[in-house]
Each structure stands twice: as structure tokens, then as C-alpha cells.
């Protein structure tokens, strides 16, 4: 089991950048794929990005491709989400999650451990 704590959310203007962090507490972090998901009010949780255990392979939702970058530092047990050119439609609670399979699933059902989320609000 991996305990996850997100940070870095906030209120920004359209076009700004923000970097989210997700710190993991657990000895298995480096064996997990990590994902970022988001949930806007009255909408379902949606996939944003994922990264494999080594950090060498990533996957992105079409809506963020070219603007967001997922990365990880296994020495710090931390995964990041660099968000550039933010848009109002990126407003949501962002969650990180761990998947012990090591694959790059976009479906949330494969992720067993979740953080509490961090709010990102983008004003127009």
C-alpha cells in the first residue's frame, strides 16, 4: 500500500503554469506506475496522465497533450505534474494514484491507492 499526498494546487489565471507534486510514503513507490486524474464539479473523474515505474514511458489525455508533463523522482518518492498554458476548463480537483501493475492504464479502476486531491482553479 502507498500513501499519497498531493500539493501545489491553487488559483491561477489562464495561460499560467502550475506544478503539482505527489509525495508517496511506502517502500513500493518505485514499482508502481503513477497516474494523475482530475474531477471537475458535477463531472466524472477523468484521466490526465500516467508514468511507468522507471519514468521512461508516459501517457496523456488528448486534452492535456502538449501542455502537461508528468515526471517522477524515485529517489524522492515523488511524482510531478507540470501544467502549462492552463485553461479555465482545467479547473478541477487533481488526484494522484498508484497502480502496482506497472502499466499505463487510463482507467481509474486499476489504481488502488489515491491521494486526497488538490484544487486547481484557472480563471479566465
Angle at 120 between CA 29 and CA 53, to 5 degrees: 20
Average predicted confidence (pLDDT) for the chain: 96
Helix, strand, coil in percent for the chain, rounding step 5: 5, 50, 45
| pLDDT number for residue 55 | 96
Q: What is the pLDDT of residues 67-82, one digit of tens each?
A: 999 999 999 999 999 9
Which of left, alpha, beta for 65 (phi over 0: left; psi -120 to 50: alpha)?
beta
Q: What are phi and psi of 74, to 5 degrees?
A: -70, -20
| pLDDT number for residue 11 | 98
pLDDT band at 1 (very low <50, low <70, confident <90, very high): confident
Check if the beta carbon of residue 94 is closer than 8 Å to that of residue 37: yes
| pLDDT number for residue 49 | 98
Amino acid at each position: 500500500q502507498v500513501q499519497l499526498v498531493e500539493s501545489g494546487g491553487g488559483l491561477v489565471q489562464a495561460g499560467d503554469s502550475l506544478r503539482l507534486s505527489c509525495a508517496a510514503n511506502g517502500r513500493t513507490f518505485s514499482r508502481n506506475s503513477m497516474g494523475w486524474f482530475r474531477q471537475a464539479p458535477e463531472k466524472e473523474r477523468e484521466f490526465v496522465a500516467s508514468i511507468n515505474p522507471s519514468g521512461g514511458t508516459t501517457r496523456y489525455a488528448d486534452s492535456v497533450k502538449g501542455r502537461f508533463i508528468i515526471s517522477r523522482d524515485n529517489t524522492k518518492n515523488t511524482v510531478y505534474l507540470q501544467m502549462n498554458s492552463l485553461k479555465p476548463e482545467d479547473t478541477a480537483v487533481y488526484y494522484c494514484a498508484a497502480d502496482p501493475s506497472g502499466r499505463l492504464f487510463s482507467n481509474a479502476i486499476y489504481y488502488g491507492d489515491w491521494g486526497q486531491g488538490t484544487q486547481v482553479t484557472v480563471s479566465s
